[in-house]
Amino acid sequence: MKSKQLTALGLQHFVAGAAYNVRTNQSPEQWVNQVQRILVDANMQPRVLYSADQVHGAHVAYAEGTNGKPYHFGRYFEATDGLLTDQKGVALLIKYADCTPIVLYDAVRQVQAIVHSGWRSTVQRISQKAIEQMVTQFGCQREQIVAFLGPTIDCAHYEVGSEVYEAFANFKQRDAFFEREKEKYHLDMAGANKAILLEAGILPEHVEVLPCSTYTTPTLHSARREGANYQLNALVTMLPSDEA
Q: Using one digit for the tens of pLDDT, what is the confidence trace for 158-176?
A: 999 999 999 999 999 999 9
Tens digit of each residue's pLDDT (9 = 90 or more) over 1-18:
899 999 999 999 999 999
CA distances from 81 to 9, 130, 141, 171, 219 (A): 24, 10, 23, 21, 24
The reported pLDDT for the residue numbered 183 is 86
**pLDDT class for 182, splitting at 50, 70, 90?**
confident
pLDDT band, very low/low/confident/very high, at 106 (cuts 50, 70, 90): very high
Q: Exposed (0-12), middle (13-18) or buried (19+): which is 27, by Cβ within 10 Å?
A: exposed
Q: Going by C-beta distance under 8 Å and a sequence separation of 6 or more, which residues neighbour residue 226?
A: 97
DSSP β-ladder status, 207-209 and 145-149: parallel
Buried b (16+ CB within 10 A) or exposed e, 119-148: bbbbbbbbbbbbbbbbbeebebebebbbbb
Give 42's pLDDT tier (boundaries 50, 70, 90). very high
Q: Which of 8, 6, 65, 14 is nearest to 241 (CA)?
A: 65
Other C-beta atoms closer than 10 Å to the C-beta of 114 total 30
Pairing state between β 145-149 and 100-106: antiparallel
What local confidence, expressed as pLDDT, does residue 242 receive?
66
Q: How far apart are CA 126 and CA 5, in angstroms?
A: 22
Q: Which residues does residue 60 pair with via DSSP β-bridges, in sequence order?
A: 82
Give me the mean pLDDT over the 52-78 stretch: 97
Phi, psi angles (nearest 5°) of residue 102:
-130, 130
How many angstroms separate the CA atoms of 64 and 160, rounded?
37
Half-sphere exposure of 164 (CA within 13 A, CB side): 21
What pLDDT is recorded for position 243? 55
Max Cα separation, the chain?
Answer: 57
pLDDT confidence bin for 244, thresholds 50/70/90: very low
Tell me the pLDDT tens digit for each residue of 108-154: 999 999 999 999 999 999 999 999 999 999 999 999 999 999 999 99
Interhelix angle for 126-138 vs 189-199, to 10°?
30
Q: What's the whole-number average pLDDT of the chain?
A: 96
